[in-house]
Amino acid sequence: MSPVAIVTDSTHYLPRELVGDRGVGEVSLYVSRDGGVVREADIDDYGAFYEQLRASDSLPTTSQPSIGDFLAVYEPLLDAGRDVVSLHLSGGISGTVESGRQAAAEALRERPDRRVEVVDTGSAAGGLGLIVLAAVAAAARGADVAEVVDRSQAAMASSKIWFAVDTLEYLRRGGRIGTAQAWVGGALKIKPILTLRDEIVPIERVRTSGRAFERLYEYLQGRKTDGATAWAVQHIRAGDEAQRMVERGRELFGTEPEFVSEIGAVIGAHAGPGLLGVAGIEPGLLR
């Protein structure tokens, strides 16, 4: 067993079997709708969730884990004699990382011989997933906390994501639109291409879904050119497009993606159905 445990939150959207196989601890965010609150990690039927999202006049609200949620994950690991590196979605779009820091301080008051490092990755979804995998790889080789954090920071610098959405309306209504707000007035007939660097950042506007797909593929080509040849694909209710991107990516890189998965409720509530995203990272960081 690695001396350093890796913890993250539910917005990585790595395949669940991959998370289980790598022994990653997870703290779930929450989704509130129709008077009820559920853990994102407990939402399995994405089809029903997104159908309801399309049909509703109001968006579900999302919320960060509590300090108690973090302690429930941290304390058993610390009591087993392990240190923790806890990697989370951007503090620019969620208070999750701050809850983690408060929980770490509380847990360590009674365990001063242990360490918990809570890292704001400045990312989410596929970008966060790749950073988590880089940290797991370092921990599996026996790296200490400082070394795992260093590897995580290198992955943060290398990992980049682009994603195309059908509309900016969900991001606007959810208050997570960032500097893409400037596009809202004239965005009715465009397909926005965005990235995440601490907050949502607009990259380009194209006219059709086909052109958006090609621009995402061109992004992967650029990642190959700069040596970031480990890659991933994520989507929201766009499985056919994701599969086409996987096929093109296989031809481009000559390798399988690190993962292919659907984005869940917390990020999905703000991005909306129809998202297609790609991510790339230097492969040496994952080994």
Q: What is the pLDDT of residues 148-161, one digit of tens each?
A: 999 999 999 999 99
With a pLDDT cut of 70, the percent of the chain lying above it is 94
Sheet of strand 116-120: strand arrangement: 25-27, 4-9, 83-88, 116-120
22-76 per-position pLDDT tens digit: 999 999 999 998 779 999 999 999 999 999 999 988 889 999 999 999 999 999 9
113-122 per-position pLDDT tens digit: 999 999 999 9
CA distance 96 to 111: 22
Q: Which fold has domain 160-286?
A: Hypothetical Protein Tm841; Chain: A;domain 3 (3.30.1180)
Stated pTM of the model: 0.93
Neighbours of 251 (CB within 10 A): 8
81-106 per-position pLDDT tens digit: 999 999 999 999 999 999 999 999 99
Q: Is pLDDT above 90 for 186?
A: no
Which secondary structure element, helix H or strand E, spans residue 206, and what is its range? strand 199-206
Q: Do 96 and 121 contact (CB within 8 A), yes or no?
A: no
> According to the model, what pLDDT value does residue 108 have?
98
CA-based diameter of the chain, in Å? 57
Two domains, one topology: 4-157 and 160-286: no
Architecture in CATH of 4-157: 3-Layer(aba) Sandwich (3.40)
Q: Which residue pairs from 46-53 have beta carbons closer than 8 angstroms and sit at least 24 positions apart in sequence?
A: 46/237, 46/262, 46/264, 46/265, 46/268, 47/237, 49/265, 49/268, 50/236, 50/237, 50/268, 50/273, 53/170, 53/268, 53/269, 53/272, 53/273
Domain boundaries, the chain: 4-157, 160-286
Q: Is pLDDT above 50 for 180?
A: no
Q: Is pLDDT above 80 for 220?
A: yes
CB-hemisphere CA count at 13 Å for 62?
25
